[in-house]
Chain A
Amino acid sequence: MKEYRVSLPADASFALWRDHARAFLGAGVPPSLVIWECPSGQDDLFSMSETPLLPVRASGGRVTRDCLHLLETVLCHESVERFDLAYRILWRSRTERALLRTVTDPDMILARRMCHQIRHDVHKMKAFVRFRERTPEGSNTRHFVAWFEPEHHVLERVASFFARRFTDMNWIILTPRGSIGWDGETCVVTREICSREIVEDETEALWKTYYRSIFNPARVKVKAMRSEMSPKYWKNLPETELIPEMLAEAARKVW
């Protein structure tokens, strides 16, 4: 039987994958015959022609709402494997009714692990975004900007959190995967790659004072801290640069 290759951009959306998957499903192409790939490197990026869709012959059938949710989440993952896995689960779910509940199935184990990593990424983004003020002179709304580096394609998933929370100020979160912005009325998510902006904010000094003072040097537990706040996040957190100094000071005290 014929093999199919699908080239997708690295940040391909759920909708783009779904269009291909639906067509394959309609044509009865089993997962083993589809190769999903993201061209890497600059040359490929320019020569890349997006694979044209297979003409849709028949509807791919229905999927349950749970399955759809799962696939949407899996598609936020960073790895290329996600396209293949999602199509396999979609394919199998039509005949294997209990697939989603079969917690010991290798595909489900992998899907669940991916979902877990995505939820983790979303959670850490909510926690570790740090806004810095850059209100232009004369403006009566306050403006803030943040830089964050998520590991997966999660901007659409976290946008509503920030939009619900910070409504009376203008803000933008820049990331290497796009941005989330709020102008007081609407929340806009883009997938355009951003670069970091350097902004100084005086209030950060008060935050560091607080961080240093709320620490109890009599109970140092560095491992616990690192397991919750992996050092990979430290470079974008203003307070973490104090850690070495705080530990050194704690070690000097005699209890």
Chain B
Amino acid sequence: MKRTFSERLAILSDAAKYDASCASSGSDRRGAAKGKEKGLGSTERSGICHTWTPDGRCVSLLKILMTNFCIYDCAYCINRVSSGVERARFSVEEIVWLTLEFYRRNYIEGLFLSSGIIRSSDYTMEEMVRIAKVLRLDKGFRGYIHLKAIPDASPELLAEAGLYADRLSINVEMPTERGLNQYAPEKDAAGIRSAMGHMRQRMDAAKEKAPSGKRPARFAPGGQSTQMIVGADAATDQDILSSSSALYSDYRLRRVYYSAFSPIPHASEALPAQRPPLLREHRLYQADWLFRFYGFQFQEITESRPDGMLDLDVDPKLSWALDNRHVFPVEVNRAPRELLLRVPGLGPRSVTALLSARRHKLIRLDDLERLRVSLRKVRPFITTPDWKPVKLLDRLDLKALFAPPPKQLSLL
């Protein structure tokens, strides 16, 4: 019996929810066509979340699979060939229609399309590219499009995808090659990385003007991102973060997403049956944040952790500060930006405000309070003309001052 449109929508969006990314940011800013050829859609530099689901995640894009049929058998994936999940497929026209109707009602910023692999990688990728192409060329759609590329699809197809998509991504899935071999035997780590390298080259080339002044072809101006599953294999946080470090530098990724392994219905026997390690995922995002906005190197963050795991009790920045007490206290009226960013309780915004305020006056504790800095957090780590943290840094129980009582550790 043929399923209704709505039933297929339920199946194909249910299957897409294990992908953490929903960002609609970082592309070029553009508006809808005006005049005779009116169009639909624009993009904003910073992206917009149109709603939130009770899992705390933002809904910015229509995140959906073209189909959840798949010929592969990746253990962590609900769509693998051996899973008993219900299957469905949307046609190119159906996805185009749904995207536009949702967009017109201001539900979404655009489309995030991925798919199980049917027939062949090239066939699947071709269909996905066709959806993006129809949206752009036939429908004049200028909203956001994110395509999940199929790693072993032909380079020509990837190039075409980049013409229409704002962002392309390929999931590395497992933090280590060993993990990938174990759980996704048909996937090939080297192939994934070479596709990412290939995409990076095209993105770089698209930004350079040829000597002739001719503009190069557009290629995914929103860059590429990837996702790793956390907690399905034995990789430590150190393994994960060193993998991120390589991904950010080698392929200049915009984002690495960490997805706490979620128990899936029809789970493979090979997997841990447990609640998703949400707190661990949270700490990894914090570490990632320190790398992207605070000038930390990934290696510094895990260096002093004996088991290669981030401290679950306190955030990685505080954890680093406690392990590097010799750096503190810092004098807020003199310390350079990089050092201020290392002070627990000071973020990039308050540091910028602080730097600008101290050009005009000597900063005291109450000035910090006016800048909405939490004195409780920063006090042990700074000095001001009216404050010296007497011996606070020597206290062995300093961590206890910050760590939450143990029962709050579970986010569930």
B-binding residues in A (CB < 8 A): 98, 101-104, 106, 109, 123, 126-133, 142, 144, 146, 161, 164-169, 184, 201, 203-207, 209-225, 228-229, 237, 239-240, 243, 246-247, 250, 255
Contact = CB atoms under 8 A, between A and B. Distances in A.
A32 B10 CA distance: 62
B13 A222 contact: no
B49 A127 contact: yes
A8 to B, nearest CB: 30
Interface in B30-82: 31-34, 38-42, 44, 48-59, 62-64
Interface in B369-386: 370-371
Nearest to A164: B31
B40 A214 contact: no
A150 B404 CA distance: 37
B361 interface: yes
B371 A211 contact: no
A225 to B, nearest CB: 4
A201 B107 CA distance: 13
A206 B357 contact: no
Interface string B146-179: 0000000000000000000000000000000000
Contact of B53 (A146, A164, A168, A211): A211
A164 B40 contact: no
Interface in B100-125: 101-102, 104-107
26 contacts: A104-B370, A128-B51, A132-B105, A164-B32, A165-B41, A167-B31, A168-B32, A204-B105, A209-B6, A213-B11, A214-B14, A214-B17, A214-B59, A215-B53, A218-B262, A218-B276, A219-B56, A219-B260, A219-B412, A220-B55, A221-B55, A224-B56, A229-B52, A239-B51, A255-B263, A255-B274
Contact of A206 (B6, B262, B274, B275): B6
B10 A213 contact: yes
**Which one of B14, B54, B260 has the greatest number of beta carbons of chain A within 10 Å?**
B54
A4 to B, nearest CB: 31
B40 A213 contact: no
Nearest to B101: A203
B356 interface: yes
Contact of A130 (B55, B105, B262): B105
A246 B34 CA distance: 41
Given A104-B371, A215-B54, A219-B260, A203 B105 contact: yes
Contacts of B62: 210
Interface string B334-378: 000000000000000000010011011100000100110000000
A133 to B, nearest CB: 8
B393 interface: no
Interface string B234-276: 0000000000000000000000000010110000000000111
A131 B51 contact: no
Contacts of B359: 101
